[in-house]
């Protein structure tokens, strides 16, 4: 393997508290029921628009306004409710030391991606960062993932895609990459296996062992 691709929400960063805060602020302002943590986790993974659609009652007629309100608030997040996972920093540093190229491919809105990463990682830490900018279809479509590989001059066969969601399992397969399902995120092993995952890591330490052989 020459490159490791990471999903963001639930894989690189625990963002459920941040996402829930901004979704619930929008819902409460309109008199809609707010989401629990577990509901928010279930709704994450297919982009901001799908998140808002799932959060709203079935008969809501202001979906577009709700989406725009959420995006306006979300784009200004200070990241106070976001955190890294145990052993993550050490694992990523080790992968870089071993010559691995690192990429982030997420369905998170592009405007929010860099703000989230900037809180924890220095500029240029990742070799490629791609979110939902409207230029490519979102995951599990492999277009952005393949473009990232091309940009980093590696073939899909030399890459591994690490993610905690069903969309990540499918993205790895669709892009022709090895996939490793992250069990520290927002889906269970059973959910990921049902989506087609065959290789799993319970934490960043185990991920390093899988990728580097010890």
Total domains present in the chain: 2
% of the chain residues with pLDDT over 70: 100
Same domain, 21 and 8: no
Dihedral of CA 189/192/198/200: which sign? negative
Question: 114 falls in which pLDDT band (50, 70, 90)?
Answer: confident
> Are residue 148 and residue 194 in the same domain, yes or no?
yes
Instruction: Let me know whether 125 and 30 are in one domain.
Output: no
State the CATH number of the domain containing residue 66.
1.10.150
Q: For residue 9, indicate whether it is catalytic.
A: no
Q: How far apart are CA 28 and CA 24, in angstroms?
A: 6
42 with 122, same domain: the answer is: no
Final residue in a domain of this structure, among 52, 74, 96: 74
Residues 144 and 162 sit within 8 Å (Cβ to Cβ) = no
Choice among 7, 18, 127, 132 that is catalytic: 7
Q: Of the residues 26, 42, 74, which one is the last residue of a structural domain?
A: 74
Q: Are residues 117 and 55 in the same domain?
A: no
Shared domain for 8 and 89, answered yes or no, is: yes
Same domain flag for 122 and 207: yes
Residues 39-51: tens digit of each pLDDT: 999 999 999 999 9
> For residue 164, what is the domain's CATH number?
3.40.50.1000
Range of the domain at 22: 16-74
- 130 and 112 in a common domain: yes
Span 74-104, pLDDT tens digits: 988 888 999 999 999 999 999 999 999 999 9
Element (H, E) at 65: helix 63-74
- pTM confidence score: 0.95
């Amino acid at each position: 393997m020459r490159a490791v691709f990471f999903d963001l929400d639930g894989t690189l960063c625990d963002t459920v508290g941040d996402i829930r805060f901004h979704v619930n602020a929008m819902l409460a302002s309109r008199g809609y029921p707010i989401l629990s943590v577990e509901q928010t986790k279930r709704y994450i993974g297919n982009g901001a628009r799908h998140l808002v659609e799932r959060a709203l009652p079935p008969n809501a007629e202001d979906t577009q306004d709700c989406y725009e309100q959420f995006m306006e608030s979300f784009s200004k997040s200070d990241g106070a409710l976001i955190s890294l996972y145990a052993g993550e920093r050490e694992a990523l540093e080790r992968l870089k030391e071993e010559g691995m190229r690192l990429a982030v491919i997420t369905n998170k809105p592009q405007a929010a991606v860099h703000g989230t990463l900037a809180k924890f990682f220095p500029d240029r830490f990742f070799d490629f960062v791609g979110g939902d900018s409207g230029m490519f279809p979102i995951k599990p479509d492999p277009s952005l993932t393949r473009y990232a590989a091309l940009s980093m001059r590696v073939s899909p066969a030399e890459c591994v895609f690490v993610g905690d969601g069903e969309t990540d399992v499918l993205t790895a397969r669709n892009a022709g990459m090895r996939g490793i399902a992250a069990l520290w995120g927002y889906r269970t092993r059973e959910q990921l296996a049902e989506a087609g995952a065959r290789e799993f890591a319970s934490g960043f330490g185990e991920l390093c062992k899988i990728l580097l052989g010890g």
